[in-house]
Structure 1
């Protein structure tokens, strides 16, 4: 599987036969996805920065609610995450466990509160975790660190943080990396993952957003 970060919470997961796009965003975010064709699109919440599905071509199957999904060799489970107190139900968030080529990718969307034990069980096991690290409407860094312990992924890929062009006020990824106490991480354009090359211990991989500034 090849994992490419387009920007914000939008990733392209590509196998030999299928392409999954997560949380497509509009150019009003400050970035342009470019032409994207997909087999499946997952949407974690209805905010325009996470649900710009009309720009994705290929007549993709849409996953946008909690539940079990199976399509063209991809298995997925959508799990509703807790809503912050006082927030309307319309701001609900769905996290996804996506299995392709024997790799389990967990995309947490705009998660804002800790997962319950049952939700952790539903999303586990996790090989690759796509986690928001820029704060704002999502979890703070302390809760992000707790999620790493709860889900115990092999690979962690930060998302939803400040990059050039993005109009949303978010923190830089450096703060998250410092919290983990690791050395400087070099960013890369994409990541190729197989079941055989998963690391024995948790590793953080920073991807360079492939979207262009709008």
Structure 2
């Protein structure tokens, strides 16, 4: 599977049979999305930085809430979470997604804003690749992200939703998270190519460059 970061919380996950785009955004984020093509789009919540399904070409199937879905051999489970630490009272609901494709399980946490419950951790117990917000503000920060990682124990971690020169949101930089994870000098990669056989035995962090779709 090929994983490309399209900016903010948006990734393109490309397998042999299907392509998934997560949380496509509007121009107000400051990033440039391009016009990615996908079979499936997942939306964690309907805010402008995450809910622009119309920005994705290919007439994709759009998934925007909890439940179980199977499309073109991709199995997706949406898990109810919240955008804040008050059960959604301030910023609303959020859906985290488990995306099973190419014999891998990818977890996209969307704009998670709280500590995970025991039930949520159990639901995410078999995650291979975790896409996690780290910039604080309206989501968990670097220290909270590190705690989530310690609970889920994924093989690979890719940070998202942090401050960059392109992004307009007032967030912490990714460097704070990298220091938290003891990998301060990590170099970004243009993409990740992941298979079951190449997964590390212990949790590793991978940093991706922003690319247009």
Query: After TM superposition, is the score higher than 0.5?
Result: yes
Q: How far is 1:19 from its partner?
A: 0.6
Aligned residues: 212
Would the aligned equivalents of 2:28 and 2:48 in 1 still touch at CA under 8 Å? Answer: no
Which residue number in structure 2 is paired with residue 15 of structure 1? Answer: 15
Q: Report the RMSD for the aligned CA atoms in angstroms.
A: 1.5
Aligned to 2:29: 29
State how far apart, in whole Å, the 1-side matches of 2:205 and 2:58 are.
32
Correspondence for 2:190 = 189
Within 2, Cα distance between the matches of 1:160 and 1:43?
14
Q: CA deviation at 1:13?
A: 0.1
CA distance in 1, matches of 2:127, 2:90: 27
Deviation string 1:53-87 (CA, Å, 9 cap, x unpaired) is 11111111111111111110100110011442274
Matched, 1:116 2:109: no
Aligned match of 1:6: 6
CA contact (8 A) 1:161 1:173 kept: yes
Match of 1:45?
A: 45
- Which range moves more in the overlay, 120-129 or 71-80? 120-129
Unaligned runs of at least 5 residues, structure 1: none
Name segments (4+ residues, structure 1) moved above 6 Å. Answer: none
The answer as to whether partners of 1:77 and 1:96 remain within 8 angstroms in 2 is yes
Kindly indicate whether the alpha-carbon contact (under 8 Å) linking 1:6 and 1:12 is maintained by their aligned counterparts in 2: yes
Distance in 2 separating the partners of 1:117 and 1:14: 31
Find the aligned partners of 1:102 and 1:59 in 2 and give their Cα distance: 25
Instruction: Please state if 1:139 is matched with 2:140.
Output: yes
Query: Equivalent residue for 2:158?
Result: 157
CA distance in 1, matches of 2:167, 2:91: 24
Deviation per residue, 1:134-177 (Å, 9 max, x gap): 11100122221110111000000000001112111111101101
Give TM-score scaled by structure 1 length. 0.95
CA offset at residue 101 of structure 1?
0.5
Shift of 1:31: 1.4
Supply the distance in 2 between the matched residues of 1:31 and 1:180 (Cα, whole angstroms): 26
Checking the alignment, whether the CA contact within 8 Å between 2:143 and 2:177 is kept in structure 1 is no
1:107 aligns with 108
How far has the Cα of 1:123 moved from its partner? 2.1
CA distance in 2, matches of 1:111, 1:95: 8
CA distance in structure 2 between the partners assigned to 1:77 and 1:46 by the alignment: 18
The residue aligned with 1:80 is 80
1:128–1:157 CA contact under 8 A, matched in 2: yes
Gaps of 5+ in 2: none
